[in-house]
Amino acid sequence: MSHLGDFLCEEVVARVHRFIDDELHGGELIAMLQHLEGCESCSHEADVHIRLKGLVRRACTEAAPDHLRHRISLHIAELSGAVPELA
């Protein structure tokens, strides 16, 4: 376990997907960047995830069929208790 800046390595690994998706802000983002700058292991881990996300994005160019998107929307609506819009 390593501690650089405000984050432990375990905390960085737990936040890596939020970091890649630009979901970290303010002090959390600053702490993440400081840690990644000083920790080769975590920096490598983040780089692997960034590359993997890029590969998946390039490989998955096909859109989901309308019936599948509709089923997923209905399921999400059921889970959230919301009433889906009829299209």
> The domain spanning residue 22 has which CATH number?
1.10.10
Q: Band the pLDDT of 57: cuts 50, 70, 90.
A: confident
Boundaries of domain holding 40: 3-80
Is-contact 8 1, C-beta < 8 A?
Answer: yes
What is residue 66's predicted lDDT score, i.e. its pLDDT?
93
Give, rounded to a whole angstrom, the gap between the first and last alpha carbons of the chain.
Answer: 51
What span, in angstroms and rounded, lies between the C-alpha atoms of 73 and 69? 6
Q: Is 18 helix (H, G, I), strand (E, B) or coil?
A: helix
Give a yes or no: residue 86 inside a domain.
no
Give a yes or no: residue 85 inside a domain.
no
What is residue 1's predicted lDDT score, i.e. its pLDDT?
45
Q: Band the pLDDT of 84: cuts 50, 70, 90.
A: low
Give a yes or no: residue 57 inside a domain.
yes
Residues 6+ apart with CB under 8 A from 19: 29, 32, 46
Per-residue pLDDT reduced to its tens digit, 64-82: 899 999 999 999 888 887 6
Give a yes or no: residue 8 inside a domain.
yes
pLDDT for residue 40 is more than 50? yes
What span, in angstroms and rounded, lies between the C-alpha atoms of 15 and 42? 11
The pTM of the full predicted model, rounded to 2 decimals, is 0.61
For the chain, what is the domain count?
1
